[in-house]
Amino acid sequence: MILRGRAISKGRAEGPTVLLSTPFSFLGGVDARTGSLLAPEEARGADLKGSVFAFPCGEGSIVGSYTMLDMAKKGTLPAAIVNERAEPIVTTGAVMAGIPLVDRISISLLRDGDRAIVDGNSGTVELPEVEGKEVVTCVLRKGDRILILRRSEEVGTFRGRWAGVSGYVEAGEKPLDTAYKEMAEEARVTQAELVTEAEPLLIRSGQVIWTIHAFLFGVKNAQVRTDWEHTEHRWIRPNELRDFDIVPGFERVVSLLLSEKGR
C-alpha cells in the first residue's frame, strides 16, 4: 500500500516504524547519544536509530533542530520522519541532517513496527506488508433514519457486524456505478436519489487499508430485501449507531456524509 503525502525533505529510506500519537520535541524527548526516547512515558526506551519515526507534528524549541543534527553526527537519528503536519523545527532539522521527511500522512494508518519506505522526493510512504482495498459504502436515508445491514457468516470480512450497503470496486469500474450495482444486489433497491458523496476516506483494520468511497442516497418507499451477504436489516436514527457492533469507520462515514449534506 502506498500512501501519498507531501515531500518536505528529500531522500529515500526504510525501516521499522516507531509511532507516537502526540506531538514530539527532539529537545528533551530523546537521548541524542543513544537515540532512545525519553518521552512520552509510554514510549520511553524505544529506539529511534534507523527507524521511520512517525508522529503528528513537532513542538518545542528551535534547539530541537540542532538536536537532530547532533543525532545525525552520532549516528542515532531516525532513517526518516513521517508527520501529519510538518512545522519549522522538525523540517529544519530534517533538511540539515539530510533525512527524508514526508507530511500530510494520517498516522492512524500506521502501526508500531510497520516496515515503511519513505520517499522524500515523491512524497510517498510505502507499506509493503499492508494491503490496499477499494470499496464503496452506501448510506440509504429515509426520513430521519438510515439503513444498516448485518453481515452474514458467509462473507469474507467483518462477519456479524453492521454496515451500510457496500462492495468492492472492481478494476476499471467507477465507484458510483459500483454503488448502484451493490444497492440493487444487496438490498434490491433500484430507485434511489444521490444526495451527496464524500471525499475518499482511508481506514485501517489489521493489515488492510480500506479506501472507502461513501455515498448518501435518499429513498422513499424502498422495500429492502437482503441477499446472502446479510442476515437482517434495520432503519435507525444516526445517533443509534453507538448501540450496534458496526464495521470500522462506518460511524465516521455517516457523520461525514450527513455533514456534507448540510453544507
Q: What is d(CA 88, CA 102) in angstroms, rounded to the nearest whole number?
A: 13
Do the Cβ atoms of 231 and 241 come closer than 8 Å?
no
In this structure, what DSSP letter does residue 169 have? Answer: -
Q: Does an H or E element contain 260, and which?
A: helix 250-261
The answer to whether residue 61 is catalytic is yes
Q: Does an H or E element contain 9, and which?
A: strand 6-9
40 preceded by cis ω (within 30°)? yes
Q: What is d(CA 201, CA 250) in angstroms, rounded to the nearest whole number?
A: 10
Q: C-alpha angle 23/249/232, rounded to 5°?
A: 160
For residue 23 the three cell numbers come to 506531538
Catalytic one among 21, 36, 61, 122? 61
Question: Catalytic residue positions?
Answer: 61
